[in-house]
Chains A and B, each alone.
Chain A
Amino acid sequence: MTASVNRRDFLRLAGLLPLSLAAPRWASSLSAPSSQKNVIVVVFDAFSALNISLYGYPRETTPNLRRLAQRAIVYHNHYAASNFTTSGTASLLTGTLPWTHRALLPNGKVTEHFLHRNIFRALPDYYRLAYTHNSWAFTLLNQFWQDIDELVLPRRLFLASIDNSIGVLFRNDGDLSSLSWTRDTDITSGYAYSLLLSHLLTPIQERQIASVADHFPRGLPTSFDDRTGFLLEDAIAWLRDRLGSLPQPFFGYLHFLPPHSPYRTSSEFYRRFAHDGFRPMDKPLDVFATKGTSPETLALRTSYDEYILYVDQSLGVFFDFLKVSGLLDTTWVVLTTDHGEMFERGMAGHGNPSLYQPLIRVPLMIFEPGRQVGQQVQIPTSALDLLPTLAHITGHSIPDWAEGQILPPFAEANAERSIYAVLARKNDPSAPLTIASTALIRANYKLLYYFGYRSPDVKELTKLYDVMADAEEMIDLSASRQDVTQQMLNELKAMITRVNKPYV
């Protein structure tokens, strides 16, 4: 880990040279004959489609993604099932909505009912690998451990972690020895078995962090509950090494934290957009607004956009590896996120009670093995669709509990279907929904229905937008299109009544 900077530079500048020299050997081993293709799902946390230049954002935040999209299926109106990690990730992993899987609270869990209803169970004959930087996502992966062949601990890819060396030392028992080492030395968890090593390691760790800190002017990328720091370069390098030796066919679920806050890009992209003159559309303060000043929100947006550049660069390196190694010809690669992020209407970040487009309209790109020509899908699709789609394209039966549909072009598209998003962070998971934010998207329209909040303004609030004609959600049509509003509201309320039934 001490050579992180060198490796980073190596990856960026010259990584592909030795890779290409090794390619023929790798390609032959990685493309070993297998009737089933591998699957890799790459999730970048809090990645809003609205801030991605590929999806029309004025700032050029994703040059690599634009290049890669030329051979991918790009979904332009894809919706997350919620606006924060726990609910959004649980929906990706179970193919059901938050009101079904009930992982509603921050760092919450799905109900016992869903312990064996997950994306890993849907691909039983695959070697299943899972990793996440995000401890809330790990809580969910941990619930599915019986269906995961290799569940890698979050700290494995954090800086200042000697877990990796321990794992190498005890090669045949790498996961457990790393776990034990973490429990032995991680003093901040409060469970460091070791009395002295834990103290001696602290200065070593600090030195390791200092060796790369200069490359991150805003501080090292960290998670919200582990301040150790990590580098995406390390994650990609680890992935590159690991994918080369996984039994095939494999399914990898890789959930990386960037561009989730804190937005800490590398020095290469620092202040890239600071003086570009970009001014996002002025929007009125929302009922849930917590931040009033727009300069502050704009500064956060700029930091977020610069962090996306860092994500995009890593993605470019990862895909170049997949291409050179031949894995791209034998592997389905899915790129998506668990939820979005917003910087408008007096709100910054996510987890607030609103469900505006920046929070739930998210990227989805599917790289089909061997595909050379891109395809654009414009009809609305849902995060729930990933599980049935992966089951379908890998030749497995679609579980009867999955609530999504097979994505186009793998099945006939239904442009008139109803897509939902649900947020109920304050609702008891074992009780009927009484405080929640919900969204129903159908064709051009999006209905927002908030209910149960204390404030009289949002005790029961309905808004309707034509998101095709008014992508910025500036004109509330709930008064002028009462017929559509009422019809969609009736449908939404009927659904809420139905999902509440088991909990009444």
Chain B
Amino acid sequence: MCALPLHFWTLILAFRDISWLTDRTNAWDAVGVVAYGLMFALVESIVLFVIAALLGYLVPGRWDPDHRITFLTVLVWMLSIWAMLDQLYFMVGGWMPGWLITALVNSGHPARLFYVLLVAVVGLSIVVPAMLVIRSERACKVVRGLIDRLSILMIFYLVLDAIGLAIVLFRNI
């Protein structure tokens, strides 16, 4: 499940970028850039998997494998969602609602309050789903079902990775 959000993001951005690349290079080079992107995503996925696996050792041993997998998957997904939101901030141009800015300014300590709010929101967004998966059998089953369905998509990504690797190898021989 580590590879899913990383590949999902890479593919969306790379395909969105392909006309820019084709304009400035040519079709073969544009495909090459996407191929490198997939290769980097694969490396990134492996690194993230290793980190998640190591984190798995910190999970209590009495948890069954289903709970372990769903719990770690939720952590990886939430981390990915925040990374996506951070990038979207640059893509669509950062903004903050006027009322929030006013409230921060009126507080007298805008920076301090802003960071407290940020930590609270990010913390809750991770803790709440993680707790749900741990405490609720139903939530755990829902996530587990989702993982099973998305695994099929992963095979498709792996095929794309293999094609990307082949293109990179071909270009470098």
> A residues near B, CB below 8 A?
142, 145, 170-173, 176-177, 179-181, 183-184, 187-199
Which residue in B16, B29, B79, B171 is a CB contact (below 8 Å) of A191? Answer: B16
Classify the secondary structure of A's interface with B.
Answer: helix
Interchain Cβ contacts under 8 Å between A and B, 20 examples: A170-B171, A170-B172, A172-B173, A173-B171, A176-B33, A180-B32, A180-B40, A184-B37, A184-B40, A188-B90, A192-B87, A193-B9, A193-B14, A193-B37, A194-B9, A194-B37, A195-B84, A195-B87, A196-B44, A199-B83
Q: In the assembled complex, how far is the CB of residue B134 from the closest CB belonging to chain A, in whole angstroms?
A: 25
Q: A193-B10, A195-B44 are in contact. Are A183 and B80 (CB under 8 A)?
A: no
Please name all residues of chain A whose beta carbon is closer than 8 Å to the beta carbon of B84 when the two chains form the complex. 195
CB nearest neighbor in A for B33: A180
Which 7 residue pairs of A and B lie closest in terms of their CB atoms, listed nearest first? A180-B36, A190-B91, A180-B33, A193-B10, A193-B37, A173-B171, A193-B13
Classify the secondary structure of B's interface with A.
Answer: helix
The answer to whether A177 and B173 touch across the interface, beta carbons within 8 angstroms, is no
Question: What CA separation (Å) do A13 and B53 show in the bound complex?
Answer: 50
Please name all residues of chain B whose beta carbon is closer than 8 Å to the beta carbon of A176 when the two chains form the complex. 25, 29, 32-33, 36, 171
Question: What CA separation (Å) do A196 and B36 show in the bound complex?
Answer: 16
Please name all residues of chain B whose beta carbon is closer than 8 Å to the beta carbon of A170 when the two chains form the complex. 168, 171-172
The answer to whether B33 and A183 touch across the interface, beta carbons within 8 angstroms, is yes
The answer to whether B6 and A196 touch across the interface, beta carbons within 8 angstroms, is yes
The answer to whether B9 and A190 touch across the interface, beta carbons within 8 angstroms, is no
Q: In the assembled complex, how far is the CB of residue A132 from the closest CB belonging to chain B, in whole angstroms?
A: 14
The answer to whether B90 and A184 touch across the interface, beta carbons within 8 angstroms, is no
Q: A187-B90, A195-B6, A197-B40 are in contact. Are A173 and B24 (CB under 8 A)?
A: no
CB nearest neighbor in A for B17: A191
Task: Flag whether B41 is at the interface (Cβ < 8 A).
Answer: yes
Between A179, A189, A198, the greatest number of chain B beta carbons within 10 A of the residue's beta carbon is seen for A179
The answer to whether B24 and A187 touch across the interface, beta carbons within 8 angstroms, is no
Please name all residues of chain B whose beta carbon is closer than 8 Å to the beta carbon of A142 when the two chains form the complex. 24
Please name all residues of chain B whose beta carbon is closer than 8 Å to the beta carbon of A180 when the two chains form the complex. 32-33, 35-37, 40
Q: A173-B171, A193-B9 are in contact. Are A181 and B36 (CB under 8 A)?
A: yes
Q: A145-B24, A197-B40 are in contact. Are A192 and B13 (CB under 8 A)?
A: yes
Task: Flag whether B86 is at the interface (Cβ < 8 A).
Answer: yes
Q: In the assembled complex, how far is the CB of residue A116 from the closest CB belonging to chain B, in whole angstroms?
A: 16
Question: What CA separation (Å) do A122 and B138 show in the bound complex?
Answer: 72
Please name all residues of chain A whose beta carbon is closer than 8 Å to the beta carbon of B173 when the two chains form the complex. 172
Q: In the assembled complex, how far is the CB of residue A136 from the closest CB belonging to chain B, in whole angstroms?
A: 15
Task: Flag whether B48 is at the interface (Cβ < 8 A).
Answer: yes
The answer to whether A173 and B172 touch across the interface, beta carbons within 8 angstroms, is yes
CB nearest neighbor in B for A189: B90
Supply 4 further A-B pairs (C-beta < 8 A) apart from A173-B168, A195-B10: A176-B32, A176-B36, A184-B36, A195-B5
Which residue in A191, A196, A199 is a CB contact (below 8 Å) of B13? Answer: A191
Which residue in B6, B9, B172 is a CB contact (below 8 Å) of A172? Answer: B172
Please name all residues of chain A whose beta carbon is closer than 8 Å to the beta carbon of B86 when the two chains form the complex. 187, 199
Please name all residues of chain A whose beta carbon is closer than 8 Å to the beta carbon of B24 when the two chains form the complex. 142, 145
Question: What CA separation (Å) do A308 and B74 show in the bound complex?
Answer: 55
Please name all residues of chain A whose beta carbon is closer than 8 Å to the beta carbon of B5 when the two chains form the complex. 195
Please name all residues of chain B whose beta carbon is closer than 8 Å to the beta carbon of A173 when the two chains form the complex. 32, 168, 171-172
Question: What CA separation (Å) do A484 and B17 show in the bound complex?
Answer: 56
Q: In the assembled complex, how far is the CB of residue B89 from the closest CB belonging to chain A, in whole angstroms?
A: 9
Question: What CA separation (Å) do A359 and B168 show in the bound complex?
Answer: 47
Q: Contact string, B26-42, partner A, CB cutoff 8 A, digits 1/0?
A: 00010011011100110
Question: What CA separation (Å) do A183 and B13 show in the bound complex?
Answer: 9
Question: What CA separation (Å) do A429 and B114 show in the bound complex?
Answer: 46
The answer to whether A190 and B40 touch across the interface, beta carbons within 8 angstroms, is no
Please name all residues of chain B whose beta carbon is closer than 8 Å to the beta carbon of A194 when the two chains form the complex. 6, 9-10, 37, 40-41, 44
Please name all residues of chain B whose beta carbon is closer than 8 Å to the beta carbon of A188 when the two chains form the complex. 90
Please name all residues of chain B whose beta carbon is closer than 8 Å to the beta carbon of A192 when the two chains form the complex. 13, 87
CB nearest neighbor in B for A138: B24
Please name all residues of chain B whose beta carbon is closer than 8 Å to the beta carbon of A198 when the two chains form the complex. 87
Q: In the assembled complex, how far is the CB of residue B37 from the closest CB belonging to chain A, in whole angstroms?
A: 4
Q: A190-B91, A199-B83, A199-B86 are in contact. Are A183 and B37 (CB under 8 A)?
A: yes
Please name all residues of chain B whose beta carbon is closer than 8 Å to the beta carbon of A189 when the two chains form the complex. 90
Please name all residues of chain B whose beta carbon is closer than 8 Å to the beta carbon of A177 when the two chains form the complex. 36
Question: What CA separation (Å) do A4 and B25 show in the bound complex?
Answer: 31
Question: What CA separation (Å) do A171 and B20 show in the bound complex?
Answer: 24
CB nearest neighbor in A for B170: A173
Please name all residues of chain A whose beta carbon is closer than 8 Å to the beta carbon of B168 when the two chains form the complex. 170, 173
Q: A192-B87, A197-B44 are in contact. Are A145 and B25 (CB under 8 A)?
A: yes
CB nearest neighbor in B for A186: B90
Q: Contact string, B55-87, partner A, CB cutoff 8 A, digits 1/0?
A: 000000000000000000000000110011011
Question: What CA separation (Å) do A176 and B26 show in the bound complex?
Answer: 11
The answer to whether A187 and B32 touch across the interface, beta carbons within 8 angstroms, is no
CB nearest neighbor in B for A171: B172
